Amino acid sequence: MANATTLEGGGWLLCSGDGVPPLALHVARAWVSRLLATRPDALLAFLVLLAVLIAWRYLFTPIEWNRSLGEVGFGHLKEERGGGRSAARERVRLCRRARLLGSLPPAFPNGWFALVDSHELLFGQVKHVSALGENFAVFREEEAAGGRVHVLGAYCPHLGANMAAGGRVRGDCLECPFHGWRFRGADGKCAAVPYSAKVPDFARAQRWSSREVNRVVFVWYHAEGEEPSWEPEAIPEVDGGQWLRKGRSTFHVNCHIQEIPENGADVAHLNVVHEPLLTSGGDLRRSGTSKGIAKHVWEASWAASREEGLEHTATMSLRHELRFLNKFLIMGNDVKAHQIGPGYVVLNIQTFLGRVIILQTVTPVEPMIQKVVHRIYGSKYVIQPFANFMFLGETIMFERDVMVWNHKLYLDKPALVSEDRAINHYRRWYSQFYSENSPRVSMKDRSLEW
């Protein structure tokens, strides 16, 4: 019986073992044999060219790393024998369903949350985004109208059609695909009804406050309906386009949103989870037992801002070193991670090639599913191979955290020692983003209700 591996993205099927290889493999073997016999120099040139293309792909192309829910942290389930892929997915589903969640904070805190990256929304384009318990129609005006981004509630107030599913952008308005009603992005007010001479004053789509900052589209969410009390600040090098985006990763994580930025205050985990070398990978079963001759060493502190008007911010100061035999410094970086509200972090990293910025956004897709996106930016002096190396390392380290988050129980009263006091400070600071009507999560019949 042949072993088969399917690469879903490209749709190729590679066969090996005692089965009959596909026709393409027969042709390739015959072509290589003939070329080797007649033109060995041509074969050598071909192999060199192939090596150059592969090197270019992995060294000089920005990393795009995407991991869906269940792809990270469930290797111990997927590797159980029997049943194939469908059985592995079922084991992951049952594991998530049986997991205890604990006494969770409200599902959706108040603040700014990322919906899409700027490059994902072209002129005159609309996208449907489901997040924060809402359905959003995110659209960019036509270029002639100014190209501004707006966020409306997805459902038309006329008869409830989803305006992001088949709707069209007309100038600065979004047109419903059902009856052609048009709604202005600036205020949500109906601007035209194609079969009526009169536009009703009461016809208005829900408008959400939004900002396009640092090449990310943010929406303001507040359970009490309050207007924004602070703004996501622009980073000149990123917002102005002087720096290039040198990589992006997307993860879907099965945890409560508060637990992800809590890692910044939980400094003790750094020299446990993130001490082993990157070659150990992101699976804690392997990385957690690595005893190499080199290791990562971390020193960190966390503090909330006391400056007036910046109460919604906090800072993690971190020193990272790679040491050989725990003595000799191989390399080191200083990092300032600025937590801005409940779901946005700006990491400033000082390297020997200059400063690098990583933007992290965390957006609740559902109460216990978070979409986490990292974007790395640097100047032209931060060459792409170096940026790829840095970003790959950051991604592997993050996967280790994801494995913990995907399985952990939230403890509202954890057993802490004095060295863990920053965790309590963090939780008190984060509580400012909840209000009376913030939706809560409860467990009932092993299904999420909120």
Could you tell me if 52 and 76 lie in one domain?
no
pLDDT in tens, 138-166: 999 999 999 999 999 999 999 999 999 99
Give the pLDDT of residue 28: 67
Q: Which CATH number belongs to the domain containing residue 166 in this structure?
A: 2.102.10.10
Claim to verify: residue 280 and residue 141 sit in the same structural domain: no
Whether residues 44 and 72 fall in one domain: no
Range of the domain at 137: 111-221
Q: Contact, 445 vs 294, CB < 8 A? A: no
- Identify the pLDDT of residue 327: 83
Q: Per-residue pLDDT for 259 more than 90?
A: yes
Indicate if 30 and 71 belong to the same structural domain. no
Question: Among residues 221, 253, 284, which one ends one of the domains?
Answer: 221
Decide if 89 is inside a domain.
Answer: no
Is 291 a residue whose pLDDT tops 80?
no
Give residue 158's pLDDT.
97
Give the pLDDT confidence of 353-374 residue by residue, as tens digits: 889 999 999 999 999 999 999 9
Top-confidence residue, 378 or 76: 378
What pLDDT, on a 0 to 100 scale, did the predictor assign at position 312? 98
Q: What was the pLDDT predicted at 87?
A: 80
pLDDT given at position 203: 96
Q: In the chain, pLDDT over 70 holds for what percent of residues?
A: 87
- Asked if pLDDT for residue 328 goes beyond 80, the answer is yes
51 plus 69 within the same structural domain? no
The residue that leads in pLDDT, 12 or 354, is 354
Percent of the chain with pLDDT over 90: 69
Q: Is the pLDDT of residue 289 over 60?
A: no
Average pLDDT over residues 102-122: 97
Q: What is the pLDDT of residues 389-406, one digit of tens each?
A: 999 999 999 999 999 999
The answer to whether residues 243 and 190 belong to one domain is no
pLDDT reported for residue 81: 63
Does the pLDDT value for residue 211 go beyond 90?
Answer: yes
- HSE value, Cβ hemisphere, 13 Å, CA-based, for 424: 9
- pTM of the model as a whole: 0.86
Residues 204, 278, single domain; the answer is: no
- Angle (CA) 348 349 352, round 5°: 145
Q: Can you give the pLDDT at residue 105? A: 96
Helix (H, G, I), strand (E, B) or coil at 15: strand
Same domain, 53 and 141: no
Other Cβ atoms within 10 Å of 250 Cβ, number: 15
The pLDDT score that the predictor gives to residue 443 is 55
Kindly indicate the confidence band of residue 36, based on its pLDDT and cuts at 50, 70 and 90: low
Provide the 3-class DSSP secondary structure of residue 216.
strand
With beta carbons less than 8 A apart as the criterion, state whether 408 and 400 touch. Answer: no
DSSP state, 102? B
Residue 23 is predicted with a pLDDT of: 66
Q: Are residues 289 and 394 in the same domain?
A: yes
Torsion sign across C-alpha atoms 358, 259, 152, 69: positive
pLDDT the model gives residue 7: 32
Decide: 205 and 188 in contact? Cβ < 8 Å.
yes
**Domain annotation covers residue 91:** no
Distance CA 189, CA 309 (A): 33
Per residue in 46-100, pLDDT tens? 677 777 777 666 677 888 989 998 889 888 887 776 667 788 788 888 888 888 8
Residue type, 28: A
Rounded Cα distance, 425 and 431, in Å = 10
pLDDT of residue 25: 65
In a domain, 229, yes or no: no
215 and 243 both lie in a single domain: no
| In the predicted structure, residue 9 carries a pLDDT above the cut 60 | no
Buried b / exposed e across 119-143, counting CB within 10 Å, b at 16+? eebeebebbebebbeebbbbbbbbe
Q: Are residues 386 and 423 in the same domain?
A: yes
In angstroms, the CA 396 to CA 278 distance is 7
Tell me the average pLDDT of the chain: 88
Q: How many domains does the chain have?
A: 3
Q: How many Å apart are CA 420 and CA 406, to the nearest integer?
A: 22
Q: What is the pLDDT of residue 31?
A: 66
Both 257 and 366 in a single domain? yes
Does the CA dihedral 116-118-122-125 come out positive or negative?
Answer: positive
Q: With 70 as the cut, is the pLDDT of residue 449 above it?
A: no
How high is the pLDDT of residue 288? 61
pLDDT band at 290 (very low <50, low <70, confident <90, very high): low
By DSSP bridging, strand 344-351 and strand 328-340 are antiparallel
